[in-house]
Amino acid sequence: MKRSIELTVSLVLLIALSPLMLILSILVSLNLGRPIFFTQTRAGKDSSEFKLYKFRTMSLAANSDGTLLPDEGRMTRFGNILRSSSLDELPSLINVIKGEMSLVGPRPLPTKYLDLYSSKHKRRLEVRPGITGLAQINGRNNLSWEEKFDLDVEYVDKASLRLDLSILLKSCLVVLKREGINAPGHVTMPEFKSPGENQTN
């Protein structure tokens, strides 16, 4: 039932928001250049790999040897507006339609983190990752990685349509308030390291 509802909702949203997404595509191209989309291989349910789609929010500024600058050196005012409004997430509806993601669930993370999860936190991979989830309505990037993962596992244990609806409604409020967009002292979220090395953000 959840899959049927999410497929229907995602298709309706993608069609309804297509004019906005076209405008955003043009703005990304004008402000940041090509490519318009940020794509990255992420880990889905049961560690399956898929390509995540988002609007690009950072420039491709690099140093003399071609290595991309840190996030702080590539984030632009336009990109920050996209992130703070969560409009950069709209292309992820494509991932939901393809069955790689859900509207609600643990956020999908890079596959390089798979070997770093504790046995408890690996349980976050038992469900499809989501565009929003418990961590996003309880602090977002103000939380440590461990706090996020604990909430992800809590979602796995309590998952239900009622909980999903509650998370979606609360997510709208969080987006409007623009809370927890950046980790303290960072323009995004610091890289996850092995357990015990992530005491602070």
| Domain contains 198 | no
| Domain contains 188 | no
Structure tokens at 192: 């996850």
Start-end of H helices in 17-107:
18-32, 71-74, 77-85, 92-97
Dihedral sign for Cα atoms in the order 2, 109, 198, 137: negative
Q: First-to-last CA distance in the chain?
A: 37
| Domain contains 113 | yes
- Sites in the chain below the pLDDT cut of 70: 179-189, 194-201
Residue 66: predicted pLDDT: 79
pTM, whole model, 2 decimals?
A: 0.87
Domain that holds residue 122: 2-177
| Domain contains 161 | yes
Question: By the 8 A CB rule, do 119 and 32 touch?
Answer: no
| Domain contains 196 | no
| Domain contains 105 | yes
Question: By the 8 A CB rule, do 13 and 93 touch?
Answer: yes
| Domain contains 96 | yes
Residue 200: predicted pLDDT: 39
> How many separate domains does the chain show?
1
| Domain contains 67 | yes
The pLDDT tens digits of the residues spanning 1-25 come to 889 999 999 999 999 999 999 999 9
